[in-house]
Every structure is written in structure tokens, then in C-alpha cells.
Structure 1
């Protein structure tokens, strides 16, 4: 069985996307580890230690980039994903690789220029997003 970590911000819309994606993962027969599950971040542990441990026990990761932070850049505000979601994307990509770590993006949140070439799943196009996610999920196999 393939196990997938699912990360997002703690906002109602991001958590709604997390729930929908978790349902797709389960529909394909894979295990899902949403960041919101009890025990994912055990009491007394440090966040980075917990994330490193998760990286060792999952086969893939999906990070949801949504319009969660308003950041002043020059004279205008831009919408960005939460910094912890960006950090987690980099962490999981480093542990699992590009083919096992994907971005699902909601809205027009800015993506750092270092990630501008990464192909992501556009959650605003729901039908296409579901088909793309299902295709990616079906290609996954357990890590060796």
C-alpha cells in the first residue's frame, strides 16, 4: 500500500481541499496521512523532528498551496501560501523526489521563482484536477 502525506494551511478553504484530496487518495486504495491527524505531530516532539519522521514513513506527499498570507511586496499586497507549506514542500521533495511530491494550487497565490517551472495541479479547475490527481495516484508504487 502507498502512503501519502497531505499538507495544507489551517484555513477553512485549505482544509476543505485537504478533505477532498484525502477522499480521492482513499478512493484509489492508498493510505493518507493528513497533517491534521492525531499523532502526526506527537506532543513533546519538535515539528522538524516529526516532519523528518513522516518523510521516512510515507511514499509520497501532496502540498496544497492556497491564498493564505497577504504579503506586502513593494507597494502592493500579494497572496502567498503559508511559509510552513512551502518549507514542507521543499523537505518532502528533498526526501522523496520531484515525482513523489506534488503541489496542488488553489487561487492565484504567488509561487516562489525557484518553483516557477514546477508543474502543479490547479484546484480551480476541479474536473481536470481530479483526473490529474487520480492519474498520478494510480502511477504511484511503494518506495523501496
Structure 2
């Protein structure tokens, strides 16, 4: 199975992508981190490339970090990069909610429409590892929408 991994370009997020990619490979599947060579060809629009990537993937993991400091309701909060939230919506719309998951590091503020989703808490490393392995094993190429 092909599994897309999306995150910001922060060092911490890229470290999480690497750890998750190694876990996916160990389970016998193919990770496609957002920064993998060739995923975003020169001359293409990013949104066009993302739509093409969606068609090639069986599942997606989007990593939400505390990347951007914003002013929200009379205080500063940290939130994931806008592109990572957009990519979650794009993959979830294409692959469905069971094949598109959120991993969170820290307590980033996310859009209220996403607050009810059960996510993988990367701050709890052992639990996160167990949950991700269970999720990957639960997936089957036959179930693809």
C-alpha cells in the first residue's frame, strides 16, 4: 500500500515523518513523505500535484504541529500550517475518513470541524506507535474508496 505523509517543513515535523515512514516500511508498505523526490514535478501547480498524488495513494497521514503563532479570540495560539490542514481535507475527501488520519504533536489549535476526530497523539510515543501499527494493519487495499 502507498501511504502519503504530510507535515510542515519544521525540523520536528520532518523527524516525525521519518519515524512514521520507517514504521510503515517495517509493516511492508510504501511511505510517500511530502518531500520525497519527484512527488511535486517542476512546472506543476502544487494543488494539481496533490490531486494526482491522491489518486496514487491508499491512505494518508497528516501531522499537525504547533507551527504558526496566531491571534485567536483575544490570545495567541499555535496552529498547524494552513497547507497541512488543506491537505488533510483533500485526502480525506478523496480517500475517506478511515484512510486519512491526523497525528498531533503538542496542542495545536485546529478548526472546530476537526475537533471531534480521534487523532494519534505523537507526544505519547509508545501509544502512538501501537495505534499507527494497528491502523496500518487494519487497512486493506480492497477497502479503497
The TM-score bracket by the shorter chain reads over 0.9
Q: Does 1:55 align with 2:17?
A: no
The alpha carbon displacement at 1:74 in A equals: 3.4
Q: What is residue 133 of structure 1 aligned with on the other side?
A: 132
Q: What is residue 122 of structure 1 aligned with on the other side?
A: 121
Distance 1:136 1:75 in 2: 38
**Structure 1 length-normalised TM:** 0.97
**Structure 2 length-normalised TM:** 0.96
1:2-35 deviations in Å (ceiling 9; x for gaps) = 1100000000000000000000000100011100
Distance 2:128 2:28 in 1: 18
Q: What is residue 111 of structure 2 aligned with on the other side?
A: 112
The alpha carbon displacement at 1:122 in A equals: 0.3
Q: Does 1:69 align with 2:68?
A: yes
Distance 1:51 1:73 in 2: 29
Deviation >6 Å, runs of 4+: none
Q: Which segments of 5 or more consecutive residues in structure 2 lack a partner in the other structure? A: none
Task: Tell me how large the CA RMSD over aligned residues is.
Answer: 0.8
Structural mapping, 1:71-110, within 5 Å: 71-110=70-109
Distance 1:123 1:20 in 2: 11
